[in-house]
Amino acid sequence: MFVLVVLIVVLFAFYLFYKTKYFRSNRQVEKKWLSAKSNIALGLFVCLFGINHLFFISETTTSYIIASIFTIYGAYFSWIGFKKYKHYLPFAIEEANSLEAQK
C-alpha cells in the first residue's frame, strides 16, 4: 500500500512537471510531445489511484465500481498518451535538430 501511495505522489509530480514544461515551451511539436508525456503520467496516476482504492480502501459495491472505472479510464488514458508520445517523438527530435541547425 505504501509503495502505491509513493508512486501516486510521484506520478502527480511528473504530471505537474510536464504541464509546466508544456506551458513554457514555444515549439509546437514539443508542446504536443510534452502533452503526451503529461497524459501518460496523469493516466498512470488515475489508474494507480483506482487500484489502491480497489484493493485497500473499498468497502461498498459503489466504491468498487468507481475504483474499477478509475482503473480502466486511467489505463486507457495512459495508453492513448503513449501512442501520442511515440507518434510525436520523431517530429520533436526533427524540430529540435532544425532549430539547432539555425543557430
Structural domain count, the chain: 1
Grid cell in block for residue 20: 509546466
Q: Residue 80 is part of which domain span?
A: 10-18+26-99
Residue 2 lies in a domain: no
Question: Do residues 33 and 92 make contact, with C-beta atoms less than 8 angstroms apart?
Answer: yes
Residue 38, domain member (yes or no): yes
pLDDT at position 35 over 80 = yes
The C-alpha cell at 24 is 513554457
Q: How much of the chain exceeds pLDDT 70, in percent?
A: 99
What is the per-residue pLDDT across 2-14, written as a single tens digit (0 to 9) for each? 899 999 999 999 9
Asked if residue 45 belongs to a domain, the reply is yes
Q: Is residue 4 part of a domain?
A: no
Domain assignment present for residue 1? The answer is no
| 4, 27 contact by CB (below 8 A) | no
The pLDDT of residue 44 is above 90? yes
